[in-house]
Amino acid sequence: MPALKLWLLALAHWGVDLFTHMLPPVLPVLIRDLGLSVALAAALATAVNVSSGILQPFLGVVVDRSGRPWMLPLAVLWCGAFMALFGLASSYVVLFAAAVLAGLGAALFHPLASVTLRAVVGRYSAGAMSIFGLGGTVGMASAPLATAAVIAWQGLPGIRWLVLLAALVAGLLVAGGLHRLSLRRPAHTAGGSPADTPSGLPANTPSGLPANTPSGLSPTASMGSPATGGVSSGAPGTVAAAGNMRALTYLAGGKFVRTIGQTALLNFLPLYYVSRGVPESQAGLMLTVVLAVGSASAVLSGYASDRLGRKPVVVWSSVLCTPAFIGFLMTDGFLQLAFLVLTSVCFYAAFSVVPIYAQELVPDQPGMGAGLMMGGVWALASLCLIPLGSLADMVDIRLALLVAAWLPLVSTAFLLPVPETHPQAHAILRLSSRLTR
């Protein structure tokens, strides 16, 4: 049953990201049929992206305080229903309101689904998060094709049938019992017994760190974190809340900086290829390659972080991403493709790891932590595309991407102070310490 619920969550993620990413292919039709300007049409896409991103951390706080799982199928239905209005409404005001409200549904879904995921798996698992994230990536990738097929079938009014798809997905969530889960504690631990703590670890383990850390080996200090971050030195089970929020701020800063580079790659890659004389169809295909490789990387890296720790995956992927990105911009042919694949692997390696990392840093506010990383950071990073786009207009697209290529390496300045949170990483450190004595 946990496996079924996990795949149902991934299916719901597919649906929500499909709904919120169907707008770009619809914009040309809206411009033609409703006589909208490009600026007004673009404002609709901005409304969806901003409302679905900026609001996620705040709705994550609501999720943490309310813990109402029945809102999960409601969020899916809500998002799909308001996007379906694009097939019916002829008023720009109605369309804009629908865009904002659809984004609100997506903003509620993501932190709520991440907390539900913890309840399903019984612990924080980046591997499970990667399966959940895979659903969203497939939804984003399939949105243009699905939207084009619907418009070719019935024109713009065909978009209204999205509400049926949303109702089907929401119904499957209800049939799977996801609306009845207790979000206050995980459903079970990895061993099948009830969890004692939100992280599924023994109750005396402070902030999800191993209880048997040997003296002289501080889990946080051993990972290069500041002494004030992470876990308090007081009684077992107490958490240094201020230190954890400080660590979360560092993690968000690092995620923000590297995400600027990632969004630049995703948005400017087709333009880069077109500027080099590549046909538009082939340029779009390269973006599909990035998304496909990234999906595989997110899954594999998620499971790797469950065994090696969160910090090594996030930091090393950032360090390696910059030379790979620069290599892509400096080469041609097959070697350039190889560097592009490596760049995608590095960018997406942290995709499913960072939300879990954030939840482990603030275990009492998992919805807020996941919402910040899955929505808030992405929305703010997207705004930084404007100056990079201006640089591309003033000089060229290659220089804009070259600037973006350095950002993953810069992000490590924020990531290094963040303490490790995963017990397995500390077990590896203890073994390494014994072997080097």
pLDDT score of 385: 78
Rounded Cα–Cα distance for residues 276 and 193 (Å): 58
* Cα distances (Å, whole numbers) of residue 274 to 280, 325, 390, 419: 6, 18, 18, 43
Contacts with 123 (C-beta within 8 Å, 6 or more apart), sequence order: 186, 189, 190, 195, 199, 200, 201
What is this structure's pTM?
0.67
Model confidence over 162-173: pLDDT tens digits? 899 999 999 998
Task: Tell me how many degrees the CA angle 311-206-239 measures, rounded to the nearest 5.
Answer: 90
Nearest to 220 by CA among 14, 1, 19, 419: 419
CA distances from 42 to 25, 26, 31, 209 (A): 11, 11, 10, 46
Query: CB atoms < 10 A from the CB of 29, how many?
Result: 16
User: Which run of H or E residues covers position 258?
Assistant: helix 241-275
**Domain spans of the chain?**
2-180, 241-422
Q: Which contiguous run of DSSP H or E holds residue 425?
A: helix 423-435
Tens of each residue's pLDDT in the chain, 437 residues: 578 888 888 999 999 989 988 887 787 788 888 888 867 877 787 788 788 878 777 777 777 777 677 888 999 999 999 999 998 878 899 999 999 999 999 988 888 888 887 777 766 666 777 788 788 888 887 887 788 788 888 888 888 988 999 999 999 989 888 767 666 544 443 334 344 333 333 333 333 333 333 333 333 333 333 333 343 333 333 344 556 888 999 999 999 999 999 988 987 888 888 888 888 667 777 877 888 898 889 888 888 888 888 899 999 999 999 999 999 999 999 999 999 999 999 999 988 888 889 888 888 787 787 778 877 787 788 778 778 888 888 888 899 999 999 999 999 999 999 998 876 655 555 554 554 45
Q: How far is CA 101 from CA 94, 156, 368, in A?
A: 10, 20, 20
Q: How far apart are CA 148 and CA 378, in angstroms?
A: 26
How far, CA to CA in Å, does 374 sit from each of 125, 277, 324, 352, 370?
16, 35, 24, 9, 6
- Among candidates 296, 234, 122, 282, which has minimal Cα distance to 243? 234
The number of beta carbons lying within 10 Å of the beta carbon of residue 293 is 18
Number of Cβ within a 10 Å radius of residue 199: 25
Q: What H or E segment, with its residue span, contains residue 340?
A: helix 333-349
Rounded to an integer, what distance in angstroms lies between the CA atom of residue 113 and that of residue 111? 5
The pLDDT score that the predictor gives to residue 183 is 61
Would you state the pLDDT for residue 207? 39
CATH superfamily of 241-422: MFS general substrate transporter like domains (1.20.1250.20)
Q: Looking at 88-239, list the stretches that DSSP marks H as alpha helix, in order from N- to C-terminal side.
A: 92-121, 126-154, 162-175, 219-222
Mark out the alpha helices in 331-396 (DSSP H runs). 333-349, 353-361, 366-371, 377-383, 385-394
Superfamily of the domain at 2-180: MFS general substrate transporter like domains (1.20.1250.20)
As a whole number of angstroms, the distance between CA 345 and CA 261 comes to 14
Take residue 165 and report the two structure tokens written for it: 């798809």
Domains 2-180 and 241-422 equal at CATH topology level: yes
What 3-state class would DSSP assign to 61? helix
Measured distance CA(379)–CA(360) in Å, rounded? 22
CB 339, CB 331: distance < 8 Å: yes
